[in-house]
Structure 1
Amino acid sequence: MIEVAKRLQNVEEYYFSKKLREVALLKSQGKPIINLGIGSPDLEPPFKASMLLQDSLLDEKAHQYQSYQGLPELREGIANFYKTHYEVNLSSQTEILPLMGSKEGIMHISMAFLNKGDKVLIPNPGYPTYASVTKLLEAKPVFYDLKEDNNWEPDFAALERLDLKRVKIMWINYPHMPTGANATNKFYDKVIAFGKRHDILIVNDNPYSFILNDKPVSILRYKNAKDVCLELNSLSKTFNMAGWRVGMLVGNYDFISAVLRVKSNMDSGMFYGIQKGAIEALKCSEMWFKSLNSVYQRRRALVWKLAKGLNCTYDEHATGLFVWAKLPPHMKSEEFTDLVLKEHSIFITPGTVFGSNGEGYVRFSLCASEDVIEEAIARV
C-alpha cells in the first residue's frame, strides 16, 4: 500500500471544499440552498479589463511561457496603484512580485523562510490557510489571540511572554478577515517594532482594503516597515477577479528575491491575457470603488437585517466583504449554522472555521444579490 506523506497527517481538507460538497448534495436533492458562506464576488470585473483579456488572445506572444516576474507593465501598474491609493513608493524592478493569486504567496513565503521545527505566529481567529501551510512545511503554528474587547488586535504584552526563539514569520491580516476590524496606526507601529526586535518577518495579508473601507492602508506606509515586512494583495475582491488568480507580493528586494527563488521553480508564469486585463483593472478610477461599494452597502444593510432576524448582533463599523455576527448567549457556532441550513436552507459559516476564538460567532458573505438576501430574510 502506498502511504501519503506524513505531513498530511495533521492537515485536513479545507473546510469549504468539504462543506460545498454537502451543499451541492442538498441542492441535487431539490433543497433551495442560499449560499451566504463563501466570499466569491458575483459582480462583473471592470469591462475594459475583460475586453483587453479577449483582445490579447491574438497577440503573437499570448500563448508562450511568460516571465516568472510578470510583464514589466504589470509591475509598473502595481507600483502606480500603490502610489495612488496607499501613498507607498515601490520599485517595479525589485520590490514587486506578481502572483497567481495571493493564496499561492502564503505557500511561497513559507517555503522561502521556514525550516522544519520553526514557529509561526498565526491569528486566532484568522484565515485557515496560514496554519495549514505551516503544518505542511512541518513548522509549528503558534496561535495568538484576537478578541472583540481589544478590537481584534493582538495583545503585545502577551506576545512578549511567549518563547519567540524559533519564530520566523508572523501573519497579520487587516482589514481583518473574518471580523472586518481595521487596525490602528499604533498597531502598525507596534507590530513593526516587534518584528525588528525579534527578527520576525511580518506579513500583512491585505486583500480587503477597498471593500466598504474609506481609508485603505498598507503596512509599508509606516516607518521601518520594509526592514521586516512583506505585504500580500489581490485583485480578487477589489476588482471582482477571483477566478482570474491575480495577486501580488510587495516589499524589499531581499525578501522578494527569496520568494522568487521558490516561485520560479513552481510555475512558468501567469497567462499573458490575464496580465493584460489586470494592468487595465489597476487603472480604475475612484468611481469604480464608489460604485462597487454602493452595491455592497445595500447588501450589507440587508444582511444586518437577516442577522437581526436570527437574533445576532454585529459591529456597524466593520469593513470588508463579510458581516461577522455574534450569536445569542450559549449558542455554539456549528450547531447554529447547521440548524439554519436545516430549517431555512441558508448556508452561513461558523466562526470556529477560523479558530477557537470564533466560537460564538458566524460569518455572512455579501456575495449574493439583494433579491437572494431578501429571500433569506423572508425565510427567517
Structure 2
Amino acid sequence: MEVATRIKKLPPYLFAQIEQKIAEEKQKGREILDLGIGDPDLPTPSFIIEKLCEEAQKPQNHRYPSYRGLYRFREAVAEWYLRRFGVKLDPEREVVSLIGSKEGIAHFAWCVVDPGDIVLASDPGYPVYKIGTMLAGGIPLELPLLPENDFLPDFSRFPQEVLEKTRLIFINYPNNPTSQVASLDFFKEVVELARRYNFIIAHDLAYSEISFDGYRAPSILEVEGAREVAIEFHSLSKTFNMTGWRIGFAVGNAKLVEALGRIKTNVDSGIFNAIQWAGVEALARTEEVLKWLLPVYQKRRDLVVSALSRVGIEVKPPRATFYVWIPVPSGFDSLGFANFLLDKAGVVVTPGTGFGRYGEGFVRVSLTTPDAVLERAMSRIEEALNQ
C-alpha cells in the first residue's frame, strides 16, 4: 500500500526526531537534560486555569464552537492589539481563532498557494513554513537569514523575475531560531516590496511578548498599507505557558482572514469554548503575567550567555524569544556539535540545520527548562568543552 506522493516528500518532523533520540538515551539509563524543544516549563497562570474550570462547568460550552472563533475571544484579540500595538481591528472581519498558530500557518498556504507557486520561507526558520507550502503544492524557496546581515533577509539577492513570480513570503520576528528582532523600518521595506510585486506576507509574531532590556516588538500591521498585503499569526502558547491548550489567532487583511476561516470550516470544528474564554482572561491580563515571566527568562538567558563566554563562545544576549542561537566551536558542524553535547554531556540542543540549510554553523538552546536543570546542563557543557 502506497501513501500519497506529498507525504513521501515530507521530511521527518525535527522535534519528533529529537524526542525519539531522548527516549533512546534514557532507555540506556542516562540522565538527559533537554534544552532542545521550546516548551515552557513554567505553569499556566492560575487565573487562566480557574477561568477554564469555571467555563467548563457550563453546558452551553460543550456544544460545537463557532468555526471562526467565539466572538468574545476575537473581540479580546482586537482589544489587545489596540492596547499593545495601537492597531484597530474589526473582530468580525479581521480576526480568526486558530487551534494554535502552527495549525493556522500550515493551513494558510492552502488559502493562497496554487500548485507551482513560489513561496519564500525564512531559512533558518520554523519548519512548518516550508511543509505547509509543500502540502499546498507550492515551491518553497529559501529566504536566507545570514549572520552577516543580522539574520534579516536580503531581498536584493533575488532576481526581479523571482519576486514577480512570488506568491507568498513567511517571515518571523522576533525570530525563531535566531532570536533576531526587526524594526518597523524593516517591515516597511517588506510591505513596500509586497505591494510592488503583488505578493502576500505571512508574519509569525508568536514571540512578541518574550523580550528583554526594554525592547518591545512591533507588529507589521503598524505599517501603513500592511493590511492590504499581510496577515499576522499569534499564539497564547509562549506568553501564557499554554502550549498544550492549542489556542492562537490570525489577524490582518480581511480577505486573507476570511479565506483561512473558510479552510477551517471545512477541516476542523473550532476550539473548545471554555479554552477561548480562558484566552479572553489571559489577553486582558497580559502585563500581569509578563511582570513575573520575563525576569525568569532574562536570568536564564544571562546564565547561558555567561557560561558560553567562559568557554570562549561569545554570544550577544538576545533581546527577545526564549532561545539562544549559538555558533558552534571550530572543528564542528551543527549536527556534530549537537551529537558531541549529547554523547559527552548528556545535554540535548537543536542543530541549526534542523531549521534549514542556512542554520549550519549554529545550534539552538531553549531557556524553557527549570533554573537548576539549566545550570546543571551548562556546567556539563563547560566541562565537556574544557576537556
| Counterpart in the other structure of 2:95 | 96
Paired residue for 1:329? 330
Q: Deviations over 1:237-259 (max 9, x none)?
A: 01111110111000121111111
TM-score by length of 1: 0.96
Amino acid at match of 1:242: T
SS at match of 1:298: helix
Contact 2:164–2:198 (8 Å) recurs in 1: no
Match of 1:17 in 2: 16
**C-alpha displacement at 1:69, in angstroms?**
1.3
2:361: which partner in 1?
A: 360
**Cα distance in 2 between the residues matched to 1:230 and 1:52:** 29
Q: How many Å apart are 1:288 and its aligned residue? A: 1.8
Deviations 1:15-67, CA, capped at 9 Å, x for gaps = 11012111012112211000000100111122111001111121021211010
Contact 1:208 1:238 in 2 (8 A): yes
Query: Matches of 2:332 and 2:341 in 1, distance apart?
Result: 12
> What is the rounded CA distance, in whole Å, between the counterparts of 2:334 and 2:39 in structure 1?
22
**Match for 1:336: what amino acid?**
F
SS in 2 for 1:169: strand
SS in structure 1 opposite 2:176?
coil
Cα deviations by residue, 1:84-104 (Å, 9 ceiling, x for unpaired): 111111011110001000001
Q: Which residue of 2 aligns with 1:121?
A: 120
Q: Give the Cα–Cα distance (whole angstroms) in 1 for the partners of residues 120 and 311 of structure 2.
A: 34
Question: 1:91-240 counterparts in 2 under 5 A?
Answer: 91-161=90-160, 163-213=162-212, 214-240=215-241
Q: Secondary structure at the match of 2:59?
A: coil
Identical amino acids, percent of aligned pairs: 37
Equivalent pair of 2:106/2:131 in contact (CA under 8 Å)? no
Q: Distance in 1 between matches of 2:159 and 2:169?
A: 13
Question: Counterpart of 1:278?
Answer: 279
**Offset of residue 157 of structure 1:** 1.5
Asked whether the 8 Å contact 1:323–1:365 carries over to 2, the reply is yes
Conserved in 1, the CA contact under 8 Å of 2:151 and 2:178?
yes
* Conserved 8 A contact 1:311-1:327: no
In the TM superposition, residue 306 of structure 1 has moved relative to its aligned partner by: 3.6
TM-score (norm 2): 0.95
Shift of 1:219: 0.4
Worse-matched range after superposition: 32-41 or 68-77: 68-77
Please tell me the residue identity of whatever aligns with 2:292.
S
Residue identity matched to 2:69: G
* 1:251 corresponds to: 252
* Amino acid aligned to 1:372: V
- Contact kept? 2:101, 2:234, Cα under 8 Å: yes
* 1:48 aligned residue: 47
Unmatched tracts of structure 2, length 5 or more: none
Aligned partners of 2:318, 2:49: CA distance in 1, in Å? 33
- Separation in structure 1 between the aligned mates of residue 286 and residue 201 of structure 2, nearest angstrom: 30
Alignment-derived partner of residue 316 in structure 1: 317
Note if contact 1:66-1:271 (Cα within 8 Å) is conserved in structure 2.
yes
Match of 2:264 in 1: 263
Alpha-carbon offset, residue 313 of structure 1: 2.5
| Distance (Å, rounded) in 2 between the aligned partners of 1:19 and 1:215 | 32
Distance 2:207 2:286 in 1: 17
SS at match of 1:120: strand
Aligned pair count reads 379
Partner of 1:288: 289
Partner AA of 2:234 in structure 1: N
Match in the other structure for 2:5: 6
Residue matched to 2:56: 57
Give the distance between the partners of 1:248 and 1:179, measured in 2 at CA: 23
Alpha carbon RMSD of aligned pairs, Å? 1.4
Q: Which amino acid aligns with 2:223?
A: Y
Q: Distance in 1 between matches of 2:313 and 2:26?
A: 26
Alpha-carbon contact 2:302-2:317 (below 8 Å) kept: no
- CA-to-aligned-CA distance 1:215-242 (integer Å, 9 cap, x gap): 1211001110000000000100011111
Name the CA shift for 1:310/1:135 in 2 (closer, same or farther; >3 Å).
farther
**3-state SS of paired residue (1:282):** helix
